[in-house]
Amino acid sequence: MTTTTASNGRDSGTTASNSAQSLKDAATSQVADIVEQAQDGFDKAVTHGSDEFKRLSDQSTKFVRENPAIALAGAAGVGLLIGLAVSKRR
């Protein structure tokens, strides 16, 4: 009877160990899936941001070429405001 009890204890320990390994494998798989989804989302966001930046850059270049006086006046105004802000700090 003692042998059966010891054998049952080993079987329970083996079953618990197998269950723990199964849980670990499932968690590892889920984490890998989540990381892959996050990577895909990040790649899409970077691509979209890059495309949007290029579009805005092209649009700004076109505006400056079509309206150089307005662009120059805007740049002068921004420069003046920055100059006033910096000079007041001193």
User: pLDDT band for position 8 (50/70/90)?
Assistant: low
Report pLDDT for 45: 94
Report pLDDT for 66: 97
Write out the two tokens for 1.
């009877």
Which domain, by its residues, includes 14?
Answer: 2-89
Residues 6+ apart with CB under 8 A from 64: 71
Q: What is the amino acid identity at position 65?
A: R
Specify the residue for token string 């009877």. Answer: 1
Report pLDDT for 19: 85
User: pLDDT band for position 15 (50/70/90)?
Assistant: confident
For residues 64 and 52, give the distance between their C-alpha atoms in angstroms, rounded to a whole number.
18
30 CB-side CA count, 13 A: 6
pLDDT one-digit tens code per residue, 29-76? 999 999 999 999 999 999 999 999 999 999 999 999 999 999 999 999
